[in-house]
Structure 1
Amino acid sequence: MLHESVFRTVDLPAADRFEAWVERMGRTHAPMQLASNRAADYRGEQRVIGLGDVTVWPATFDHLVFRRTPKLVRQSDPEAYHLSLLQRGQGAASWGRQQAAYGINDIHTNSSSQSWEVSTGPDPVTMIGIEIPRALVALPANRADRMIGGGISGREGIGALLAQFLVQVVSDTGPYRPADAPRLGTVVADLVTAVFAHALDADRQLPPETRARTLTLRIKAFIRRHLADPELTPARIAAAHHISRSYLYRLFQAEDTTVAAYIRDQRLANARRDLADPALGATPIHVVAARWGFPRAAEFTRAFRTAYGVPPSEHRARTNSGLSAK
């Protein structure tokens, strides 16, 4: 499991909650002036998850106004970018003479090296924040800084890849080991760099390894969307991404797997999940298999037994009786 710390204002006396939240936010990003119309009994909850040099922090909190003033920038500057994926509520930001509004699945960007003001709506907001050192964004600083305050969509393109990755990581840190943290941080840094580069039309300036890792994430997302198609082949995947099959193979070799193995593992994992779902208990096994790209029942049974040590029917029986399959 990844290391994380949890902070809840409800664990403190009401009179101390807002001051403690101000301190927590200052340590998470950089010192700020905070104000709220709910300060008398402030409600906020935050998890901080360390991913090497990158920090990810899902949080839910009451109305808040964040101000990073020029004086605070001079006093303390960790030289970090901050990104917020808004999952519930609304927000607005101003910096200089510019302003922007943010809705659900929008991504807001700011920098500890600049002054700005961000305010949330009257209702509580839920978001996932990223703190990433500027040095990890592999673009010239003068270009990357142009993203400050700019809106990024988390609903499509590379922004959606970043949003999906963040949601996946914070929803359950259990499957990850502490040694995975720096690697996950590298993925976040690559995605942030790719999001910035795409928005700035600066893809050519990305380091080759960043382009390759970002492309691999896009390909994996494509595969997951098309798992039900039994004709999902390396040739089709390569064509959809305008690359050769040999380059596609090299991308997956860099991750110590193959395209075919990734497709098979994803299909099996989804079928295994459906077989354990009591709501699908009446659905024949061969129908579940076909739904995830296994049109031949015998082939599915062999692959399932090889992967999980038991046939699909036994896995379903065990899970539906409250026992876990080996």
Structure 2
Amino acid sequence: MNSNNIPRKTLPTKEERHKLFGTVEPGPKHKPVEKEKMADLQNIQKDFLFELDEVGITNVKYPIIIDSATAPHSQTSVASFTFTSSIQQSSKGTNMSRFMEQLAAYSVNGFHADFSMLKEFTKELAERLGQKDAKITIQFPWFYERKGPSTGIAGLNHADLTMEVSYNQDSGYIMNVGMSVLITTLCPCSKEISEYSAHNQRGNVRMEVSLSNDFTDLEEDWKLALLEAAESNASARLHPILKRPDEKMVTEEAYENPRFVEDMARLVAADLYELPYVTGFKVSCQNEESIHMHDAIATIRFNK
């Protein structure tokens, strides 16, 4: 008896419970169990109307290793993977399991989020699939150390990154990267018209960047270059830990460097333009306005 004097239930066995909720005995099986004898619908060859530009799998979560020129110099993260290749008009489909088989093989010693591994991966994937091309896209958070400007107390900030490599046996590789990072902007108009103070807001800088074919991770840490392009042009950087002396410095810095969202887009674009290994870019800035019900946005696209 329990504390409420309710009699203890006598439950049926687990097998009986399963039957109660719909489990039935296995039926007769006639189809082959050997792989060689099984039908392979995806490998059927006919005229299937159109070639497909991309076929594959997406939303694959897998651990990765990120190397960085700033602390922490090596970190683990979880990336969302997308793998695709084209499919000829005469092919019905692709072999989805081969994407995951290759990812598992590459992850035995740790999947490094660098271009040397991604280029090797896409070329081998195309060969494994029997296709002329393949593409891999990974998205992940990257953490970097940020110190308070006065006290030097360190914590970790993060930005959201994208790496994309496309391989084609005829034309070679195409490499693209992306970053979304938060910054602070202070309104120049508010500063100009107010007797004192000025409103500021958190901004989001999104960069989509095309890299030259000869770019390697050993040449420069592209993560730091994009981060600097965004943060150095803002009114102020964001910090994980701010003591009062730090907060004083950050707010004064923001007041000394007012930025419209249009200013941000142009200044970030200028920094990206000066990077020798960048061949084109898109910069999108969005401010969560602190005294308006709307956000402010600005975008610029440029190909060198």
Tell me the TM-score normalized by structure 2. Answer: 0.27
Greater helix proportion:
1
Greater strand proportion:
2
Larger radius of gyration: 2
